[in-house]
Amino acid sequence: MSLNIHDTVQLNSGRQMPMLGFGTWKLKDGPVVRDAVAAAFAAGYRHIDTAAAYENEHGVGQAIRQSHLPRADIFLTTKVFNDDIRKGPAAVQKAFEKSLGLLGVDYIDLYLLHWPIIGKDLEAWRVLERLYHEGKVRSIGVSNYLPHHLDALIAHAEITPMVNQVEFHPYLLQPGLADACRKHGIVREAWSPLMQGKITEVPEIVEIARQHGKTPAQIVLHWDLQHRVVTIPRSSNPKRIVENAGLYDFELTPGDIAILDQLDRKQRFGPDPDNFDF
């Protein structure tokens, strides 16, 4: 499958979402996240992912303004966090307005519910639906939703989520979730695609990287994209940011993909959406 950095996937909103994005989780607000996003723009990324919970939206917004890129060329994602979802619709609306102000933009390309909060996410979703109809958000979705969370929300929603951002990597394929997303026309997006750095400890990944003359990160990110899963690697190192975008001058063989697919251990490096308390 031939890939390039400009590849996109069409969401049910009709919008095009870049397949490769830049994640900002754990990047400190201010110069750290601002400079990392600037390096990502220089490397060709046009999709930036942040969240209210990351507490770095202001720095992300600074990088967007200082890039002088047309706003229409940037796909910007942020998320409403659990505390605001729990507090109800007014808090979700207020959280959105705060994010919009910190980012310094007129609209958000993709706004997500950060985690499933049973009993509260439907009323929060109603706010996202309204923001979408008002044009303040171009697409809406969820994060960390398992199949039963999706079914419960979609049963009462006017608009089906367009994206589900979930933990996805060679140790956690979640085929049942993939099937559920496919059934509803939901695009999957991978967070923690590099297993929080643990990919360098997996002999099969290291060997495939050696054979292709690539880094383990490049191999896994390319594998994500060949599975048509949007992926958002994160780094504060300019060299690594460029490396992570260097995915388009090689191809994984069917044998490579089969080896990576068989690594699934159902192992999470982040919280289990069914068992978390934050």
Q: Active-site residues: which are they? A: 54
Beta bridge partners of 48: 22, 76
Helix axes 254-261, 203-212, angle to 10 degrees: 160
* Residue 19, token pair as written in the block: 């397949």
Beta bridge partners of 33: none
| 147-153: Cβ within 8 A, 24+ apart | 147/176, 147/177, 147/179, 147/180, 149/116, 149/118, 149/121, 149/273, 150/180, 150/181, 150/184, 150/186, 151/180, 152/118, 152/122, 153/116, 153/121, 153/122, 153/125
* Residue 271, token pair as written in the block: 């919280």
Helix (H, G, I), strand (E, B) or coil at 256: helix
Q: In this structure, what DSSP letter does residue 194 have? A: T
In this structure, are residues 150 and 179 in contact, taking their beta carbons and an 8 Å threshold? no
Task: Give dist(CA 156, CA 145) in Å, integer.
Answer: 15
